[in-house]
Amino acid sequence: MKFLVCMIGGLVLISTEAWPQSFLGKLTVGAPRHQYHFATSSGKALDHLVKLDQIVSKGEPLLRYQEVGSTKEGVRLILAGSQGVVTELNSSTWVVKGELLAKLLTPKLLGIFEPEHGAAVTARALWFCHAGSGFEVRVSYESRGKVFVTLHMNEYVIEVSELFKNEKSATLFTSPAQCHKQRDVSLGAGK
């Protein structure tokens, strides 16, 4: 049995097994945000530096093109404004001013978790299990039975946002190991 030792005017042993391993409640998440990159002038595409479904970091180059027909002819480098998953990428050789060059989906979902029975969530991070993986749920703050959270989903952001279009009952775990246990139990049941 594991214990947590607290020193506040004396020695107190508290069993950590008495702490909840998970929280059941309603999870509502918003739609992921999109990031659009348009050509500011016409030109010839030189390099497509990313691929569809690739996860890119903030400031990572997406495309290089040579401006033509303007007074400021030169090479333009299109950079990701924030981390995202590339969902559309212009593969044309020629770029026209105003044309969509790249579309990225931000892999963060903002949401509200309402634990059943008004349970207090003291953890700063919880874990959501999906597709056999654990995804961190950062707790921003808690107020009157609602916990405001941020889920970082990477390439699963589209699938999970569709899953949670409406309020849905969900279980959030206090450890990512719980997701592995849940996956192992599911795999064992299929045998």
d(CA 90, CA 52): 10
Three-state DSSP state, 103: strand
Sheet order of strands, 43-48 included: 75-79, 61-67, 43-48, 94-95
156 token code pair: 């699963």
| pLDDT of amino acid 6 | 45
Q: Where in 41-174 does DSSP place strands (E)?
A: 43-48, 55-56, 61-67, 75-79, 84-89, 94-95, 100-105, 108-115, 125-130, 133-143, 146-152, 168-173
| pLDDT of amino acid 15 | 43
Task: Flag residues of the chain having pLDDT under 50.
Answer: 1-8, 11-18, 186, 191
| pLDDT of amino acid 18 | 47
| pLDDT of amino acid 189 | 52
Q: pLDDT tens-digit profile of 83-102?
A: 899 999 988 889 899 999 99
| pLDDT of amino acid 98 | 92
